[in-house]
């Protein structure tokens, strides 16, 4: 529906006068200043801006349903901001056919064209219901007639029977917000853990008690805790390289139900202790009982493996067997439909099935093992304050052998013994010990992953360059390269050739190419003709670059830098000039360090007799840097990128 409001500027002034009188107080009503706005003063790159949003959650005193009302007002600056006119509302449904629903959807687009404000309302026929997955439906709609400069408003109410899922609120999003407010009214029957996430600070944090807000049978009454939370001038959350899930850092408020007390005296505890959770997991059919399943090692393992006297060799052989014979089907499902018996029969299974089989085989071979629950990097951090089992989405195995601890995952055939997939490097996990009680352990890679390039070149009299390159990678760099190479050797060599424009690559050779070797080495020769201008050659010695651009581009980063593992980069080049050329100009040497000896870059160029020696070494001595380190990391990365762009000047001798 399209409604054109022919408003002269004078009339507009009277309609929007309240907003102009108090522009510091955000309102849901659209003002003339909202429509005239062309950019956000504090973030000129923003494609859209939340001018105002509010949420209000409360328990209906008649139905005991949780009602959550939302209002949003957004300014669209340009076409790139049009996506913010596409609205999706996720609604949860349980296995017992209880479900959430949405009501009272209204949405309007406002556009200023000359002296006229054109309003276009959402047609109810343009609201679509979609089955999203087995536990969620999706309600979608798009604001109509959106143009650059439009202001959109939309509101709706969700109604939920699930009080264990009290509505949380995200104060921060991927565009900046002027004002975001959330109001929550919680009857005393329900007691929640309340968690504020992120680095942004609340502008308003108020609470009061409302007497007798809920009435039950036999005249029972409950008071309500009424809270108001708000933030102003919230920057956009921009994802950048080297971070875990943004849910770890996005400014928001979450609720986790601890207890419920009914008017009839019923008391249910939902927030449990780890002692209680350990007991439940021990008897759980998908975890504890599967971990206690006996496996017939005679049917699965050769006598040679079981007769190995060295426990580390025996454990490694069992690990190799599981990697080789069982395929991960891509499913996590760590608490659902886990069957070691089915895995052995079908030879394919989910994460829990494969690693529980590994656990049981190692235990049968007299190796001290325990399962570990963890949350992957994309899944976010598991809550430490109290047990939230739904936070975990992965299961691995810890093995203790001769005083050393190894963390194992057999779902990836390329992993070497003691190496976890990168997605698992999420700081900590919960070690399950059904005898002595579970505990938190660190999930870290103990080793340093490295890339070392050794380049040897010779410049001939005819300006031709010929040489040899050796590459050695360890840790996660070896893992990734090994996967690329072994999955398609021909394609790998083609990509290698394409990396060297105008150069001929030949005599390619790979060593350490065992599927689960801890390192990967390759070598090859190359030849090419340099460009000489009046007997001068500008030559960039970095045939291979570690970083083509600085991954750190934000003016300010509000979340830490998480590499996942410690690493080292080294580039060594020897360029033999012979009697034909002289080194005239070279980049300056430098050494630049991070605070607290947490990293360093060293670069040098030396001429020894007729050989130019280039050396670049980058050390990141930590896998995790707090946000205060960001300016230093940004500076050091700029220096690395600039250094790799520098050339040396060679002059032909006459």
CATH number at residue 410: 3.10.620.30
pLDDT confidence band for 262 (50 / 70 / 90): confident
Q: How confident is the model at residue 392 (pLDDT cuts 50, 70, 90)?
A: very high
pLDDT exceeds 80 at position 12: no
| H/E stretch holding 325 | helix 311-325
Residue 334 confidence (pLDDT): 87
How many Cβ atoms are within 10 Å of 269's Cβ, its own excluded? Answer: 12
Asked whether residue 394 falls in the same domain as residue 534, the answer is no
- Residue 579: the pLDDT is 83
The two beta strands, 404-408 and 427-431, are unpaired
Q: What is the mean pLDDT of residues 557-563?
A: 95
Residue 608: pLDDT band with limits 50, 70, 90:
very high
pLDDT at res. 464? 86
Domain enclosing residue 421, as ranges: 274-443
- Which of 390, 423, 443 is the C-terminal boundary of a domain? 443
Which is it for the CA torsion 25, 27, 33, 36, positive or negative? positive
| 435-445 per-position pLDDT tens digit | 999 999 999 99
State the Cα–Cα distance between residues 8 and 17, nearest whole angstrom. 14
**Do residue 291 and residue 413 come from a single domain?**
yes
Tens of pLDDT, residues 189-245: 999 999 999 999 999 999 999 998 998 877 788 999 999 999 999 999 999 999 999
Same domain, 192 and 253: yes
Residues 244 and 278 placed together within one structural domain of the fold: no
The answer on 100 and 155 residing in a single domain is yes
Domains identified in the chain, total number: 3
Say yes or no: 262 and 281 in one domain.
no
Last residue of a domain, one of 443, 463, 478: 443
Under the banding of pLDDT at 50, 70 and 90, the label for residue 654 is low
State the pLDDT confidence band at 26, using cuts at 50, 70 and 90.
low
Are 247 and 300 within one domain?
Answer: no
- E strand residue ranges, 410-556: 427-431, 439-443, 449-459, 464-474, 504-511, 519-529, 532-533, 536-539
> Residue 318: its pLDDT value, please?
97
Both 414 and 460 in a single domain? no
Q: What gap in Å lies between CA 236 and CA 421, rounded to an integer?
A: 31
Express each pLDDT in 489-524 by its tens digit.
999 999 999 988 889 999 999 988 789 899 999 999
pLDDT band at 461 (very low <50, low <70, confident <90, very high): confident
The answer to whether residue 473 scores a pLDDT higher than 90 is yes
Mean pLDDT (whole number) for 31-37: 95
Same domain, 15 and 79: yes
Sign of CA dihedral 620, 625, 631, 632: negative
Which CATH number goes with the domain that contains 573?
2.60.120.1130
Mean pLDDT of 93-102: 89
Which domain-ending residue is among 403, 426, 443? 443
> Which CATH number goes with the domain that contains 47?
2.60.40.3140
Percentage of the chain modeled with pLDDT above 90 = 79
Contacts of 538 by beta carbon, 8 Å cutoff, 6+ apart: 531, 647, 648, 649, 650
254 and 337 belong to one structural domain: no
Whether residues 195 and 229 fall in one domain: yes
pTM attached to this predicted model: 0.88
**78 with 196, same domain?**
yes
């Amino acid at each position: 529906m399209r409604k054109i409001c022919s408003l002269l500027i004078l009339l507009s002034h009277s309609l929007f006068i309240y907003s102009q009188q108090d522009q510091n107080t955000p309102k849901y009503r659209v003002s003339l200043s909202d429509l005239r706005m062309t950019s956000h003063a504090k973030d000129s790159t923003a494609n859209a801006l939340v001018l105002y949003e509010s949420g209000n959650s409360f328990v209906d005193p008649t139905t005991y349903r949780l009602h959550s009302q939302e209002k949003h007002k957004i300014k669209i600056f340009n076409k790139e901001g049009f996506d913010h006119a596409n609205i999706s509302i996720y609604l949860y449904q349980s296995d017992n056919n209880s479900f959430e629903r949405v009501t009272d959807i209204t949405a309007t687009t406002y556009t200023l064209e000359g002296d006229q404000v054109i309003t276009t309302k959402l047609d109810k026929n343009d609201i679509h219901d979609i089955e999203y997955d087995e536990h969620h439906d999706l309600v979608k709609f798009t604001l109509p007639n959106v143009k650059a400069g439009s202001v959109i408003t939309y509101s709706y109410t969700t109604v939920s029977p699930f009080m264990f899922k009290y509505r949380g609120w995200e104060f921060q999003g991927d565009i900046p917000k002027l004002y975001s407010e959330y109001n929550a009214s919680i009857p005393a029957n329900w007691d929640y853990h309340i968690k504020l996430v992120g680095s942004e600070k609340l502008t308003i944090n108020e609470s009061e008690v409302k007497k007798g807000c809920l009435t039950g049978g036999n005249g029972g009454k409950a008071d309500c805790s009424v809270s108001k939370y708000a933030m102003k001038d919230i920057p956009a959350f921009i994802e950048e390289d080297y971070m875990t899930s943004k849910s770890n850092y996005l400014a928001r408020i979450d609720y986790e139900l601890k207890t419920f007390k009914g008017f009839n005296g019923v008391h249910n505890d939902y927030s449990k202790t780890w002692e209680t959770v350990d007991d439940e997991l021990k008897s759980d059919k998908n975890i504890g009982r599967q971990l206690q399943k006996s496996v017939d090692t005679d049917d699965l393992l050769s006598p040679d493996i079981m007769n190995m006297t060295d426990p580390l060799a025996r454990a490694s052989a069992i690990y190799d067997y599981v990697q080789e014979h069982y395929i991960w089907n891509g499913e996590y499902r760590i608490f659902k439909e886990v069957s070691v018996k089915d895995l052995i029969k079908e030879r394919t299974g989910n994460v829990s099935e494969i690693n529980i089989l590994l656990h049981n085989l190692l235990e049968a071979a007299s190796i001290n093992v325990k399962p570990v629950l963890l949350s992957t990097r994309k899944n976010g951090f598991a809550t430490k304050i109290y047990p939230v089992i739904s936070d975990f989405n992965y299961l691995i195995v810890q093995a203790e052998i001769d005083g050393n601890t190894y963390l194992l995952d057999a779902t990836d055939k390329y992993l070497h013994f003691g190496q976890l997939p990168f997605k698992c490097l999420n700081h900590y996990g919960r070690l399950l010990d059904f005898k002595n009680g579970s505990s938190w352990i660190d999930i870290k890679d103990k080793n340093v992953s490295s890339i070392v390039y050794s380049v040897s070149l010779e410049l001939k009299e005819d300006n031709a360059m010929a040489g040899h390159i050796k590459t050695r990678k360890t840790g996660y760099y070896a893992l990734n390269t090994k996967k690329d190479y072994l999955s398609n050797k021909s394609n790998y060599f083609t990509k290698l050739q394409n990396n060297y424009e105008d150069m001929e690559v030949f005599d390619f050779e790979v060593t350490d190419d065992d599927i689960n070797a801890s390192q990967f080495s390759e070598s090859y020769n190359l030849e090419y003709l340099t460009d000489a201008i009046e007997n001068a050659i500008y030559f960039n010695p970095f045939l291979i670059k570690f970083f083509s651009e600085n991954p750190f581009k934000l003016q300010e980063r509000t979340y830490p830098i998480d590499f996942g593992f410690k690493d080292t980069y080294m580039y060594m080049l020897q360029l033999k000039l012979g009697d034909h050329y002289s080194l005239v100009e070279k980049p300056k040497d430098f050494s630049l360090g991070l605070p607290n000896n947490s990293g360093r870059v060293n670069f040098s160029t030396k001429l020894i007799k007729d050989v130019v020696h280039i050396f670049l070494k980058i050390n990141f001595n930590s896998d995790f840097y707090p946000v205060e380190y960001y300016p230093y990391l940004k500076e050091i990365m700029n220096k690395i990128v600039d250094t790799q762009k520098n050339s040396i000047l060679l002059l032909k001798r006459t």
